[in-house]
Amino acid sequence: MTKNYDPIDAALINFLQTEFSICDSPYLQVANALGLTEKEVLTRLQNLLESGVLTRFGALYHAEKIGGALTLAALKVPEKDFEKVTEIVNSFSQVAHNYARNHDLNMWFVVATETAMQLDETLAQIERQTGLKVFNMPKIKEYFVGLKLEA
């Protein structure tokens, strides 16, 4: 899987991080802004996803504001079991992100569910399937970072 992109792809990535509108024809709007056709935008976006340059493209929802639940969780995974545990954790559709960390708690992941009860159930299932204690770290205060990664 080659992770190459050209200057047009870079412009598309940079634009989409801040300028994607909710409207009847959002991809056409992007295309017009970048001097492309709608088909070019869609093809390039699909190629960026398939090549692994982008791992995800889609809306981010504030789970708690729409009745759901969200938390950051961590595991202390023996190094020899890391790949196996990663597969287990990533098999849960409720896991949004999973990161390896250089720390005693060496696997961190975000869990988002439709309800608080589902969140508790998901964390318990992860504990059962991995055989490891899940450290649940719900947010106390939220900060807006406004992260944009320039391609």
pLDDT of residue 144: 75
Is residue 2 pLDDT above 70, yes or no? no
Q: How far apart are CA 123 and CA 129, in angstroms?
A: 10
Q: How far apart are CA 42 and CA 129, in angstroms?
A: 38
Please give the C-alpha separations between residue 103 and each of 35, 100, 106, 126, in angstroms, as whole numbers: 46, 9, 5, 20
Greater model confidence, 21 or 85:
85
34-71 confidence digits (pLDDT tens)? 999 999 999 999 999 998 888 788 877 676 777 789 99
Average pLDDT, the chain: 90
Element (H, E) at 21: none
Identify the CATH assignment for 63-137 out of 3.30.930.10, 3.30.70.3460, 3.10.180.10, 3.30.360.10: 3.30.70.3460
Query: Bridge partners of 113?
Result: 69
53-63 confidence digits (pLDDT tens)? 887 888 776 76
Is residue 107 pLDDT above 90, yes or no? yes
Is residue 142 pLDDT above 90, yes or no? no
pLDDT of residue 65: 75
Please give the C-alpha separations between residue 75 and each of 41, 82, 85, 132, in angstroms, as whole numbers: 39, 10, 9, 7
pLDDT of residue 91: 94
Total residue length of the chain: 151
